[in-house]
Structure 1
Amino acid sequence: MPNQNQIVCCDLRGGYLTGPQVDEFVEFTTDKAMKLYPVLRKALTATLEAGEAEASSC
């Protein structure tokens, strides 16, 4: 679950990057991760609910 203590990983390959560029990439990655979390949570919840329904019908 996203929180302030979460580690964000950016795979930066090749070339020379300045400090501001690295900051921009980390901010971009963090923003995308926070937007992806609700989608991932919804998919996992639906999968778990479907699995529980299937298990209870056996």
Structure 2
Amino acid sequence: MMPELGKYAGVVLSSYAVTMLLLLAVVGLSLWRAARVKRALHEVEMRQGKQDG
């Protein structure tokens, strides 16, 4: 169900698109950073001689 946006349709829909792109970018960067930190932590633990788990 799409509301009638009239002359503002372009602005509203482009705002939604930009918002979705920004949210996806934040999620993507968060996942990338989490993986990077996890790898770094694993490396530090291996240097200290600790086992997984």
TM-score, reference length from structure 1: 0.47
Larger RCO, structures 1/2 (Cα 8 Å, 6+ apart): 1
Bigger share in helix: 2
